[in-house]
Structure 1
Amino acid sequence: MELIDIGANLTHESFDHDRDAMMARARQAGVVQMVVTGASREHSPLALELARAHPGELFATAGVHPHHASEYTSECDAEMRQLHTNAEVVAVGECGLDYFRDFSPRPAQRRAFEMQLQIAVDTGKPLFLHQRDAHADFMAIMRGFRDRIGPAVVHCFTGTREELYDYLDNDWHVGITGWLCDERRGQHLREMVRDIPANRLMVETDSPYLLPRTLRPMPKDRRNEPMFLPHIVEELARDRGEDVAVTAANATATTRAFFRLPTPG
């Protein structure tokens, strides 16, 4: 299998002591490319640095997660726009709304989201989106940009069937993580993933978060990393009633087309 992890938080401090070894383990597991998530004013430039250090293997997004929406000033917007002048930055985001924790006030979240959607309009780049417990406002804002934005992926999908169909009805893509493997919170996804067309489905670890709970043996540090992406794909293929090679090949082809990634080598 050749796989692409569309959402890996490789700038996270937990990787500082073994980032090269972590990447080697990912390669050995068949993860040939990764998109490094830029989710804040601090970490988006770091994601670009990693992508530049590993051309053709790592790529970056640049954006501000709703948790950090309060930092999205006009100066921050200018910084994001500058980052998007770099070819290694392949998507706008992570951006969106998160009303589950409300780490930033909701008006600030909506403003930051709209400003980043405008970057997508202006650059023509795809969107890397986050939505949690904010579906109505999320859809209302997206509808306001519907005819001006390009491709979009709602990453780390954990929502309801209604939410899934709203995304698919708009021709958006869906990212599936190890949440699928969580018997406490992700059981509902096991039926729903059958409904995602192959050309709309992508896979991701969201590492170092969301370690698959069905992984055996479990790593002692409980840190997720890209080498575990094949495990997620195996579970996903089983739930979709597909051969794992089919699920993997389709997800990789879909991802490469979405982010306009080169073929390795």
Structure 2
Amino acid sequence: MHNLLIDAGVNLTSSQFDKDRTDILARAEAAGVDNMLLIGCCLQSSQESLSLAKKHGYVSTAGIHPHDAKDAPTDFVSQLRALAEHKKVVAIGECGLDFNRDFSPRDSQNAILEQHLLLAQQLDMPVYLHERDAFDSMRVQLEHTPVKGVLHCFTGTQDALEYYLDYGLMIGITGWLCDERRGEQLQKLLPLIPDDRLLLETDAPYLLPRSLKPKPKSRRNEPAFLQEVAKVAAELRSQTIEHISEITRNNFNRLFLSDMGE
């Protein structure tokens, strides 16, 4: 029997899942993944994530990814606020700053992030944060508008990790951890995350764990593979998978579901 896990971040609306979404959810359940946070990255995917969450018994986020900041409509905050009225929507985001790819101008990314943080603060909801190569600017934003939430798919430095922990955020860890090339720094930092701050996520269909054997022919990540992330995390933290399962479930429920009576 697998240890029960919660995938704290999956892009279930991705077109990569269109042909076999039902099978993917069945495989996740068979692998012991019994809840998921479905990520909204734009207004349309936020609405679609909510629909899937309601259909399958999961929860979702509502937000605009920094890559899409330049395309945010002027009334996006009111649209997000309306989505957030649904009890299945448990976080504002995915929102943040991505100065690695710069798909949107940085001033636009900052302006859109500020609106997300203000909305989350007003609604007393967690934020689902994305930060890539933008730590200094993210720190300025967080200092200006205090919020609770998670730094999703953390890949940063020890200074960034210590700041986010001191600030009070949870830290989301993905299959990046299982990458012997890109994940070396994260592997060293993982033991520094306290038990009560760790979340596990696939970010599927992205970030297929490189340590997974055999690898799927599609090279596509899916929630069932969260067990591999948990296994590697347990090894690096000198903890059991049972312990990792328990703490990450407790953390997820405390951050996202405490207002739902679960």
Q: TM-score, normalised by structure 2?
A: 0.96
Aligned residue number for residue 213 of structure 2: 216
Aligned residue number for residue 143 of structure 2: 143
Kindly, what percent of the aligned residue pairs are identical? 42
Aligned residue number for residue 68 of structure 2: 68
Any idea what SS the aligned residue of 2:171 has? Answer: strand
Runs (4 or more) in structure 1 with deviation over 2 Å come to 261-264
Specify the code of the residue in structure 2 equivalent to 1:61: T
1:186 matched to 2:188? The reply is no
> Out of 192, 196, 205, which is 1:195 matched to?
192
Any idea what SS the aligned residue of 2:43 has? Answer: coil
1:73-222 → structure 2 map (5 Å cutoff)? 73-146=73-146, 149=147, 151-222=148-219
Q: What are the ranges of 5 or more consecutive residues in structure 2 without an aligned counterpart?
A: none
* 2-structure distance, mates of 1:76, 1:190: 37
Offset at 1:41?
A: 2.0
Name which of structure 1's ranges 183-192 and 206-215 shifts more when overlaid on structure 2: 183-192
* 2-structure distance, mates of 1:137, 1:223: 32
CA contact (8 A) 1:155 1:175 kept: yes
> Out of 216, 234, 237, which is 2:234 matched to?
237
* 2-structure distance, mates of 1:219, 1:2: 22
CA contact (8 A) 1:174 1:202 kept: yes
Offset at 1:188?
A: 1.3
CA contact (8 A) 1:41 1:71 kept: no
* 2-structure distance, mates of 1:116, 1:169: 21
Offset at 1:187?
A: 1.0
* 2-structure distance, mates of 1:183, 1:236: 13
Cα deviations across residues 146-176 of structure 1 (Å, max 9, x unaligned)?
2xx2x21000001111110010111110000
* 2-structure distance, mates of 1:59, 1:126: 13
Q: TM-score, normalised by structure 1?
A: 0.95
* 2-structure distance, mates of 1:263, 1:240: 31
> Out of 11, 15, 20, which is 2:17 matched to?
15
Specify the code of the residue in structure 2 equivalent to 1:229: L
* 2-structure distance, mates of 1:121, 1:189: 29
CA contact (8 A) 1:61 1:92 kept: yes
Offset at 1:263?
A: 8.7
